[in-house]
Amino acid sequence: MKRIYFDNAATTPLDKAVLDAMLPYMTDHFGNPSSIYSYGRESRLGIENARKTVAKILNAHPGEIFFTSGGTESSNTAINAAIRDLGCRHIITSEIEHHATLHSVEQLHSGQNIALSYVNVLPNGHIDMEHLRALLAGSSKRSLVTLMHANNEIGNLLDIHAVGKLCQEFDAIFHSDTVQTVGHYPFDLRNTPVHFINGAGHKFHGPKGVGILYINENVKITPFIQGGAQERNMRAGTENLYGIIGFAKALELATAHYEEHSKYINDLRMYMAEQLQQHIPGIGFNGDLYGRSLYTVLNVSFPKSEKSEMILFNLDINGICASGGSACTSGADAGSHVIRALNSNPNQISVRFSFSKDNTKEEIDQVVDKLKELV
């Protein structure tokens, strides 16, 4: 059976050109980057060239880019540093963040008695900016605002500049989880009012287990992981050398083909939305599909029935990969906290389809035909 992969927001296949860039650092250039002899210097040069590539693409300074194990570590580092090092005693977030954020802020709230507020989410999935202003204005303590740039389940895009300016107005620290947007949109960090952002290589055809944390040069924090002096004393542990090379190469390719791929992928998404509306009665879409939304994600609500309750299982046995929300909870009975926050209708089943440059309209036609049977 030929499988159809529509879960690219969870992870993407590694690009062949990325693997080709990584392979020499798995074989010939294997030295520890902290070693001072030639093998070590070759590895160190590879890492620093990768850092310069990433910084140039994001319009940041190389000194602001730190390599990590991925989005979760980066978010944890930023959130904890804001409390530990930057004087924040009040966290403002939303109920539809990734669990890497939610679990971090909940732990700080319960373990360190840090005040925690949840900004209202509008019915279309966007942040209520008036409520965010009221929370900032009403706080007697310095606030950390941590809001994701694009929601990984429904695809809604945050106005990162508007939130950043609001944070500036109230001297708040701003962290944005940009895992779903780094590698998918152009960034201009020199002109974006944000203190921390993060990225993960496997979301844009790079390797798993490698990410970045951007720390604005005006922010001084202490390490989250203790040990050696790697990453300019900011992240102990021998660097994921070939992962870092792969991250930079994947970001380079994604940026070079942004215009072409983003249009192609969005056309696929809208084509599937039209086909579903045409052929399956009673469906709906979660999030702001026709407005400010990530071009890779389509979150569909199906009417609940005996057949649709098993929809993900039945898609899987027919070789179709999709998820019920975030990849981190797709196998859990609890379902999606994001959908619960937006749509408490117990008579609907939500499925997230997410696309990449490798998908085709023919695949969408096959999936829609199968859904007609299953629903």
Which residues are tagged catalytic? 328
Q: Which of 347, 343, 363, 306 is nearest to 124 (CA)?
A: 343
What Rg do the C-alpha atoms of the chain give, in angstroms?
21
Q: How far is CA 118 from CA 169, 225, 236, 255, 293, in A?
A: 19, 28, 33, 34, 21
* Cα–Cα dist 28/45, whole Å: 14
Q: What are phi and psi of 242, to 5 degrees?
A: -70, -25
Instruction: Report the candidate in 53, 57, 49 with the shortest Cα–Cα distance to residue 188.
Output: 57
The CA distance from 49 to 16, in Å, is 20
CA trace torsion 52, 251, 94, 268 (10° rounding): 160
- Cβ atoms of residues 200 and 11 within 8 Å: no
Asked if residues 166 and 132 have their Cβ atoms less than 8 Å apart, the reply is: yes
Q: 7 has which bridge partners?
A: 354
Which among 294, 318, 312, 315 is positioned nearest to 350, based on CA atoms? Answer: 312
